[in-house]
A and B are shown apart, each in its own frame.
Chain A
């Protein structure tokens, strides 16, 4: 055993762990007077650390060969950068929200960094034991973050619902892993793949085990029929946490499911396409139809997230290199659109503290800039050209039409895009054509403006000048098939 070998793969995770410890200590040193201070030291340290690590992740080159500890291929690196960027956005988002954390602010960045550490580990896992532990690190810290405003009944409710559903999902996962181990005698992805490739007839116990593992991961992804927690938890959790959940937690499910479907299940992938396509169809139906009657912005974005999970599942059912790279592009487009949407929600839901849709009525009059940002975000989520979301949807559907067996799902997804246009445009109608319900002055800080600007510019630029990201996504996806 060589420590440097481990750090070759898990270097970023180690530094994230160190950063989390530093944050805990920094929180102790800066003391209790923080609650009224202008800027939170701990958050600034966390953001600085994450920014440095993000730069480090961009400079890192993929490891030459896979070790038994984990894999650091271009695919893992792509997602590590994605996760660190998401965490950075989450902390930036928490700045205008922080005053609402009455129970203490200092621990929040530390918990976010712990979650990020787990997510980055997930991108590199190559055996089921590390997978489970890293996934629990993500899930447990997200439970705590969801319930972070412990003075608020709905935050506690979100936390408890999340704990129970998360425990059920974890039980499925572990039970599945037990079957996989029992039938193959191996916990490594490579060993399971070899066992699948070796036999013509896969033992039913192994298929059952893998099925349960997929179920456990589908919970993370928020795919129907494992989506029940999504709307309630999204609504009840503090808004920066909801943003983190909707992007980071979904991407964690995506990264594991892709690893599993494209590499472990590789030899028998064809048999799983139908199942994934079925989940995709259900998610598209449930997400899009469920979003229509929603009256709460966060719940609404939750249902829209379920619909997006459907799109991602279509790409996984296709199982080609083109579809895998489309998923990576889609996630980045989704990141920018979602962060902008949640930030607008944070600003408009300041006082009183709820995210009812009436709150964005007439937003164009109150703050044209916020309205513009939310417009771009909604249009990007809906997949309207020339925004990034359109390119993502286009890439997935282009990959999907190559497989004639998936035609019904593709047609369904096209119908559902039209449905989704309706409810996304309803949001625009509220902003531009309704009288404002709130009349208070919106407090928009410089950092809020900056993040919104970044998200808007990224959504537009990636929609027009998408080639660099497409190339990066192709490089990332190629590692899965290498």
Chain B
């Protein structure tokens, strides 16, 4: 059952992502992207990564998509609408090379030593524990990163006094 659900949601994620990049209308792209996020969240649930699934829905499908839609509405995308997907031969070549490498890597994954952990690691409690013990240094660094980002945003959005 779980296996079947995985293929259903995985397939949905791939399909919606394809629609996202091939839609000519940016608003449609954004809407397909919500579907892609939702399907990915479902896959995370199947992997018992509950916190990440919740975050995927709340932050990505919620906050970030709203931001996307706002930007799309504020900038007029008329010119882009007509274009659609352009493929240059070089891009196709690079993408195919990458796909080949990816396929070979994934095909070989079965031989890897990684195994499914025997206890639940995807719950908020479990994640909080490693975040505040083993990974406390990067956690603190993230707070500095956010502070720096806020500072920079203020500078960039400030009206120039004599521009």
Contacts and interface: CB of A to CB of B under 8 A. Distances in A.
Chain A complexes with chain B: yes
Interface of A: 1, 6, 10, 13, 17, 20, 24, 35, 68-70, 102-104, 107, 110-111, 114, 117-118, 121, 129-130, 132-134, 136-137, 140-141, 143-145, 147-148, 150-152, 159, 179, 181-185, 195, 203-209, 211
Contacts of A159: 156
A102 B155 contact: no
Interface residues of B, number: 38
Q: Pick from B138, B149, B154 the residue with the most CB of A within 10 Å.
A: B138
A6 B113 contact: no
Contact of B109 (A17, A24, A181, A205): A205
B101 A208 contact: yes
A410 B110 CA distance: 41
Contacts of A24: 151
Most-contacted residue by chain A among B104, B145, B147 (CB, 10 A): B145
Interface stretch (B3-11, B13-21, B129-137): B129-137
* B interface, over-half SS: helix
Contacts of B105: 179, 204-205, 207-209
B91 to A, nearest CB: 13
B155 A104 contact: yes
B29 to A, nearest CB: 17
A283 B107 CA distance: 32
A269 B145 CA distance: 33
B111 to A, nearest CB: 6
Given A129-B135, A129-B138, A208-B101, A137 B148 contact: yes
B152 A107 contact: yes
Contact of B114 (A118, A134, A185): A185
B152 A184 contact: no
A205 B144 contact: no
Given A68-B134, A183-B114, A134 B141 contact: yes
22 contacts: A1-B136, A20-B144, A103-B156, A107-B152, A111-B151, A121-B137, A129-B138, A134-B141, A137-B141, A137-B145, A137-B148, A140-B149, A143-B152, A148-B156, A150-B158, A182-B112, A204-B105, A204-B107, A205-B106, A205-B108, A208-B102, A209-B105
A355 B141 CA distance: 36
B115 A185 contact: yes
Contacts of B133: 1
B137 A102 contact: no
Interface string B54-69: 0000000000000000
Contacts of A181: 114
| B107, B113, B141, B153, most chain A CB atoms within 10 A | B141
A130 B137 CA distance: 7
Given A17-B144, A183-B113, 20 more contacts: A111-B151, A111-B152, A111-B155, A137-B145, A140-B148, A144-B149, A144-B152, A144-B153, A150-B157, A151-B163, A159-B156, A181-B114, A184-B113, A184-B114, A185-B113, A185-B114, A185-B115, A203-B109, A203-B113, A206-B112
B152 to A, nearest CB: 3
